Chain A
């Protein structure tokens, strides 16, 4: 099922603050989209609005080209999974799962046998075939999560909405459930919208990311595009650790304010600019300046962490272990040739295309 949202605005109750501010978004049929952003960005509000929860809004929300407001829930074909699962504590797992079928009007309700068969099928799907008689309190977090999913899937929705579904799980279970969910999405041909504040999670599971900030969509793109061409410094910083270098563009080159950072060629007009890059994209060049490098403990993805003392500040970069030899030597310069350039919060046209086929392994820094 597809979702079209046009200039959606919602205000907080008893306040003029906008929780959503002119949001427009199209989600294609079969897509797996993650809404990401810091808390308070409006992700959950957007998800709840699509589901038809909460009060009035301005703008249009169409699901499969139709307005949902006023139509009975069972016709909407939306499955929703809450952050804290919201299972019915006084019902068994089986009764939880069959709830959406049990409350159908008599004419549409499958008979008991069919409901029991559907529950068995879903229990199989969530890999808990023996737990139909258990109560939610007796389950682990990961099991509850899967029961909540089965409950949402019982009525065969076309659109699955998930609000921070992995928030309360430990990292290993989290990763397993994430993969399993992605498999389920593909297997059942769902359209899935997932809210998360964890960009790693979004990058791993979703086809497209929608980055939100202050009730607006900042950027909507595939994961690689977001990393290669972030629309704002915020997106750059939200998606991982980023180093920031102020400077200016003059005569086709970016000239960092710090003399120990090397300049590089750009195709942009003269004026002030700020460069952002990931710690693993920076490189040390012998004889390029007066910086010193000090090895730090720790690293990421096989890379080692170095502290680089520039003129007025210190930055941390990630390098291949064989380059650790540079540590301790003096007279180093920092090459930031792979940085994204911004001017006044917008990407600078003509900034060099980001190198593809990177020689370094791609690391996402948490």
Chain B
């Protein structure tokens, strides 16, 4: 009885592994191989190029700020939406998820429409000498928009299940709002929160579309790592392009690994 279905299972498992290998692992491996084709020193030197360093620095700064802002915003949004029932709550939940479904290019275009030279506030910004589009603030805004949902989305199911009682207990024991959040709600949700922060980081580092629209692609100035990769590749600097890509892939993989490690830990803790 169990024979055919067991064989079927084995085939299915093998197919899954093959697919994962072909679609997920192979590209990353190819990127690595391509980066190291002329030796590790050449790869290393390509990273020390001033434009490359500038791209890495910009990416790290933008990601750091975006992650900090969206962690704070995501905590507040998740808390509000899960612990209170109010008019328009459903609409707010949908809005939080909007950046996931909207194409990043549109997110970038919106900022251009608002802050670009021909945009709504372009004149005013120009007169006051404030540069948003084609500068770091624009890149930051685009990254903020694209990465907003992740902390909120990972916290929401957890906070929903948390309920209000522990917070009410803390309140009745004399703890105020911030202290309750800091000592009761967030420590309890720490794994979900960390997981959300890591997702935000990974998404922020890798964002291409929205940033590409508002950045203006000025090497050494407004190019993040993904944009710089494109510039290098288009300029036939294959080794440099693939080295940067490999670095990006390594960071992304480290984040994913850390996250699954945390999730495993979290599941163990909550079972």
Q: Are B172 and A103 in contact (CB under 8 A)?
A: no
A86 CA / B184 CA spacing, docked (Å): 11
Q: Are A100 and B173 in contact (CB under 8 A)?
A: yes
Q: Are B168 and A99 in contact (CB under 8 A)?
A: no
A174 CA / B179 CA spacing, docked (Å): 34
Q: Are B168 and A73 in contact (CB under 8 A)?
A: no
The one of A13, A53, A99 in contact with B175, judged by C-beta atoms closer than 8 angstroms, is A99
Asked if B187 is an interface residue, CB under 8 A from chain A, the answer is yes
Taking CB atoms, residues of chain B closer than 8 Å to A155 are 173-174
Q: How many Å from the CB of B14 to the closest CB on chain A? A: 39
Asked if B263 is an interface residue, CB under 8 A from chain A, the answer is no
A91 CA / B173 CA spacing, docked (Å): 15
Taking CB atoms, residues of chain A closer than 8 Å to B179 are 103
Q: Are A72 and B174 in contact (CB under 8 A)?
A: yes
Q: How many Å from the CB of A151 to the closest CB on chain B? A: 7
Known contacts A72-B174, A100-B174, A103-B174; decide if A90 and B187 are in contact (CB<8 Å): yes
Q: Quick check: which of A20-28, A77-85, A316-324 contacts chain B, the rest being far away? A: A77-85
Q: Are B188 and A90 in contact (CB under 8 A)?
A: yes
Asked if B166 is an interface residue, CB under 8 A from chain A, the answer is yes
Q: How many Å from the CB of A257 to the closest CB on chain B? A: 51
A151 CA / B183 CA spacing, docked (Å): 16
Q: How many Å from the CB of A146 to the closest CB on chain B? A: 15
A262 CA / B85 CA spacing, docked (Å): 58
Taking CB atoms, residues of chain A closer than 8 Å to B171 are 53, 73
Asked if B194 is an interface residue, CB under 8 A from chain A, the answer is no
Taking CB atoms, residues of chain A closer than 8 Å to B188 are 88-90
Asked if B264 is an interface residue, CB under 8 A from chain A, the answer is no
Closest to A86 in B: B165
Taking CB atoms, residues of chain A closer than 8 Å to B170 are 88, 99, 103
Q: Mark A53-83, 1 if CB is under 8 A from B, else 0.
A: 1000000000000000000111000111010
Q: Restricting to B151-197, which residues have a CB under 8 Å from any CB of A?
A: 165-166, 168-175, 179, 183-184, 187-188, 190
Report whether over half of chain B's contact residues are helix, strand or loop; otherwise say mixed: helix
Q: Are B174 and A53 in contact (CB under 8 A)?
A: no
A103 CA / B173 CA spacing, docked (Å): 8
Asked if A169 is an interface residue, CB under 8 A from chain B, the answer is no
Q: Are A104 and B190 in contact (CB under 8 A)?
A: no
Closest to B186 in A: A90
Q: Are B168 and A53 in contact (CB under 8 A)?
A: yes
Asked if A115 is an interface residue, CB under 8 A from chain B, the answer is no
A13 CA / B89 CA spacing, docked (Å): 15
Known contacts A99-B175, A100-B174; decide if A82 and B169 are in contact (CB<8 Å): yes
Closest to B189 in A: A90
Q: Are A73 and B173 in contact (CB under 8 A)?
A: yes
Q: Mark A33-61, 1 if CB is under 8 A from B, else 0.
A: 00000000000000000011100000000
Closest to B169 in A: A86
Closest to A89 in B: B188
A79 CA / B172 CA spacing, docked (Å): 7
Known contacts A13-B85, A88-B166; decide if A103 and B175 are in contact (CB<8 Å): yes
Closest to A91 in B: B187
Closest to B87 in A: A14
A53 CA / B179 CA spacing, docked (Å): 18
A309 CA / B188 CA spacing, docked (Å): 61
Q: Are B173 and A99 in contact (CB under 8 A)?
A: yes
Taking CB atoms, residues of chain A closer than 8 Å to B173 are 73, 99-100, 103, 151-152, 155
Q: How many Å from the CB of B211 to the closest CB on chain A? A: 37
Known contacts A88-B184, A90-B187; decide if A80 and B175 are in contact (CB<8 Å): no
Q: Are A53 and B172 in contact (CB under 8 A)?
A: yes
Known contacts A90-B187, A90-B190; decide if A74 and B168 are in contact (CB<8 Å): no
Taking CB atoms, residues of chain A closer than 8 Å to B85 are 13
Q: How many Å from the CB of A27 to the closest CB on chain B? A: 18
The one of A51, A84, A90 in contact with B165, judged by C-beta atoms closer than 8 angstroms, is A84
Q: Are A80 and B172 in contact (CB under 8 A)?
A: yes
Q: Are B172 and A73 in contact (CB under 8 A)?
A: yes
A100 CA / B241 CA spacing, docked (Å): 57
Q: Mark B99-142, 1 if CB is under 8 A from A, else 0.
A: 00000000000000000000000000000000000000000000
Instruction: Please list the residues of chain A having a beta carbon within 8 angstroms of any beta carbon in chain B.
Output: 13, 51-53, 72-74, 78-80, 82, 84, 86-91, 99-100, 103-104, 151-152, 155
* 14 pairs of residues in contact across A and B, judged by CB atoms under 8 Å: A51-B172, A73-B171, A73-B174, A84-B165, A88-B169, A88-B170, A88-B184, A91-B187, A99-B173, A103-B170, A103-B173, A103-B179, A104-B174, A152-B173
Q: A80-B169, A99-B173, A104-B174 are in contact. List 5 more A-B contacts (CB 8 A).
A: A74-B174, A79-B172, A87-B166, A103-B183, A155-B174
Instruction: Please list the residues of chain B having a beta carbon within 8 angstroms of any beta carbon in chain A.
Output: 85, 165-166, 168-175, 179, 183-184, 187-188, 190
